[in-house]
């Protein structure tokens, strides 16, 4: 079946605005319809157990490592600190939020009906991926900023004067915004996304993201417990976003007892035509995604 097409419209600011508004309405209509027809049968995940483990690990790190980190601040070799300063910038949320927002803006301005089926699937997958990254990193980042300024923990650079548990709630001062770490939260969200997309390579993703998160300790911006708390928070937000996406049929498919599983139709590279030997589930997923991508 050929994708429906509309007459070519002149590229004027008004036409671009109408296209953008139409794409936004179509997207909201698709999401709303899927929320309405797909029941919230989320898999049973022992959130209370994981939350308790997160709290206990954060507390253990606070008791065992935070004071030592405060004492050692400023004592690390200069070359090592410069090394960690280079990698710590990759924990900034802007690296992930800005490209995702730009991708969504480009998708919103795209004439979806003019695309070939292969291009349509590619743009659709990139749009879903951008939404996932924006949701996981953006929502977790907003939450961690509310927490860190509400708690008001002094940073390690003030350890000698204030100690490792000096709280200044709602001081609204970056000097008192140590717990949890925003960079570590971003890395936790990135790890959660990679865990869902590449579950067999989770250990590689964990090693890379946790190392970047830990650089916050060596540059003197956070205590170890700050990074542990932030990392767990970001990962949890990514998992929740993945569960919602699986319910809606975007990127993932639902399972009854496990984390969402990436759909066979999801790829950020140009997709080949459907092969005859593909499973019935893959063909069904591809048909479903094409229907979602082909705006009504």
The parts of the chain modelled with pLDDT lower than 50 are 1-3, 273-274, 276, 287, 291, 294-296
Evaluate whether 293 touches 266 at the Cβ level (below 8 Å).
no
User: How many whole angstroms separate alpha carbon 72 and alpha carbon 80?
Assistant: 13
Name which of 142, 252, 143, 232 is nearest 189 in CA terms. 232
Rg value, the chain, Cα: 22
The first and second tokens of residue 169, run together, are 């709630």
Name which of 170, 140, 163 is nearest 233 in CA terms. 140
Q: For residue 2, what is the DSSP state?
A: P
User: How many whole angstroms separate alpha carbon 272 and alpha carbon 241?
Assistant: 28
Global confidence as pTM: 0.87
User: How many whole angstroms separate alpha carbon 180 and alpha carbon 161?
Assistant: 21
User: How many whole angstroms separate alpha carbon 230 and alpha carbon 58?
Assistant: 10
Evaluate whether 163 touches 204 at the Cβ level (below 8 Å).
no
Answer whether the bond into residue 10 is a cis peptide, omega within 30°. Answer: no
Output the pLDDT for position 9: 52
Q: Which residues, 6+ apart, have CB-to-CB distance to 62 below 8 Å?
A: 164, 223, 224, 225
Output the pLDDT for position 121: 92
With 0-12 / 13-18 / 19 or more C-beta atoms within 10 angstroms meaning exposed / middle / buried, residue 231 is buried
Give the residues across from 252 on adjacent strands. 262
Give the residues across from 56 on adjacent strands. none
Output the pLDDT for position 271: 58
Output the pLDDT for position 273: 44
The first and second tokens of residue 129, run together, are 């991926």
C-alpha distances (whole Å) from 51 to each of 137, 181, 190, 218, 236 are 19, 17, 19, 27, 9
Q: Which residues, 6+ apart, have CB-to-CB distance to 274 below 8 Å?
A: 282, 283, 286
Name which of 124, 84, 83, 87 is nearest 106 in CA terms. 124
Neighbours of 198 (CB within 10 A): 12
Q: What is the pLDDT of residues 40-59, one digit of tens each?
A: 888 888 999 999 999 999 99
Output the pLDDT for position 289: 56
Dihedral sign for Cα atoms in the order 171, 173, 179, 180: positive
C-alpha distances (whole Å) from 171 to each of 116, 140, 150, 152, 158 are 54, 21, 8, 6, 15
Output the pLDDT for position 239: 97
Q: For residue 10, what is the DSSP state?
A: P
The first and second tokens of residue 81, run together, are 């600190």
């Amino acid at each position: 079946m050929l994708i429906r097409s509309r007459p070519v419209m002149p590229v004027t600011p008004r036409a671009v605005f109408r296209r953008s508004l139409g794409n936004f309405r179509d997207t909201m209509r698709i999401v709303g319809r899927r929320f309405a027809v797909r029941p919230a049968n989320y898999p049973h995940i022992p959130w209370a157990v994981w939350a308790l483990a997160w709290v206990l690990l954060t507390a253990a790190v606070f008791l065992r490592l935070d004071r030592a980190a405060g004492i050692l601040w400023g004592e690390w070799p200069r070359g090592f600190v410069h090394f960690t300063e280079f990698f710590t910038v990759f924990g900034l949320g802007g690296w992930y939020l800005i490209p995702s927002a730009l991708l969504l803006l480009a998708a919103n301005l795209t004439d979806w009906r003019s695309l070939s089926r292969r291009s349509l699937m590619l743009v659709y997958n990139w749009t879903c991926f951008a939404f996932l990254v924006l949701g996981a990193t953006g929502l977790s980042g907003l939450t961690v900023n509310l927490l860190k300024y509400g708690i008001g923990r002094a940073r390690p650079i003030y350890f000698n004067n204030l100690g490792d548990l000096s709280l200044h709630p709602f001081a609204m001062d970056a000097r008192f915004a140590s717990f949890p770490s925003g960079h570590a939260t971003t890395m936790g969200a990135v790890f959660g996304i990679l865990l869902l997309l590449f579950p067999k390579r989770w250990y590689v993703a964990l090693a890379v993201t946790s190392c970047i998160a830990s650089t916050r300790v060596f540059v003197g911006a956070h205590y170890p417990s700050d990074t542990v708390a932030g990392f767990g928070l970001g990962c949890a937000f990514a998992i929740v976003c993945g569960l919602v996406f699986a319910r809606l049929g975007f990127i993932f498919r639902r399972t009854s007892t496990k984390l969402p599983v990436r759909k066979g139709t999801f790829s950020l590279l140009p997709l080949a035509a459907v092969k005859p030997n593909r499973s019935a589930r893959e063909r069904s997923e591809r048909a479903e995604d094409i229907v979602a991508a082909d705006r009504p």
